Amino acid sequence: MDESMISAYRSGVTDGEREEFDEWFGVQEEHRTSNAQHRTPKEQTGTRHIVSVSLFWKHVNGGDPPLPTPTRELLIDARRLGLVKRFSPWESYIEPLYLHSAEMMLRHPDVTFRIYLAADLEFLAAELAELGWEVCLMKSSSIRYCPGGFWRFLALEEADSLVTVVDADRIGQASGDIERTELMDRLGLSLWRVPGYYNADTRKEVRYRPILGGHFGARGGLMPVRECIEAFVWHWRHGSLPLTANIPGRGAVPMKFANWPDYGFDEWFQLAAMYPRLVPGGTLSFIPNDARSQLLPVDIEYVTWANSRSELVYF
């Protein structure tokens, strides 16, 4: 998504669409305790480090049936009540926040832990704030996987910040990701990522994501994140968003996960709009030792072409 598409959005978006986007991506109110308020930028750099998480409860695809209005009891008993298709909401996403937040905040006293909370989960806001989270209560609930999957990216709007984006179920492992973001900063780079490499033969199936939604860190203030998100959704809605990728040896291949509000649409946004805007500042790539994707070498060539100071680490 290039700048001409941003300009087309600015000139074409209606007042009604702006109101809808504000409902989907706007923050209703913030909840903080003194614990969260005193997490200030490090004195030596003036840089604020934010761990950013989204929390919502919806089925992942538009064709899935709606879920009932959540309550604490429903979230805890969701599997027993037949409301779970993959992961239990309480055990997988909420309980880890209660179990691991204190440990993470003790280890990283200079880091702000921020959660973008769906409107229909407001009953969790006070407890999460007491745990030390900076709670951004959203104006809306998620529809399906989106818009909730996008909320965690909103922290990247903040200039003079470092942002580590994690999934709620991985909060207990956040230390490693925080350290990667701080290493990225010390190296003077703008992005670290672990690609979704999926070792598939591209002649049969193309499965590769250079950046994953809940497993990366970046320098804030490098792009107008919310405007880019709105423009991306707007172009999808108006049929002006490219929906194919040119794969070497294959030609044009339809993009997967390219439908709003379905699962994976946020990572399609990352690929098309976020990644190209962050890699010019330099990329720190962490590559799993078993990565054999045929698209990985092309990706590495791209980031080193965009910035020759980019680094590659196998683990």
Q: What is the pLDDT of residues 32-48, one digit of tens each?
A: 876 554 455 555 456 89
Apex CA 138: angle with CA 137 and CA 143, to 5°?
Answer: 135
* Regions of the chain with pLDDT less than 70: 34-46, 200-203
Q: In terms of C-beta density within 10 A (0-12 exposed, 13-18 middle, 19 or more buried), how is residue 116 classed?
A: buried
Report pLDDT for 127: 97
The tokens describing 196, both together, are 């979704």
Phi, psi angle pair for 150, to nearest 5°: -90, -25
pLDDT 10s digits, 46-73: 689 999 999 999 999 999 999 999 999 9
Q: What average pLDDT does the chain have?
A: 94
Report pLDDT for 30: 96
Report pLDDT for 42: 57
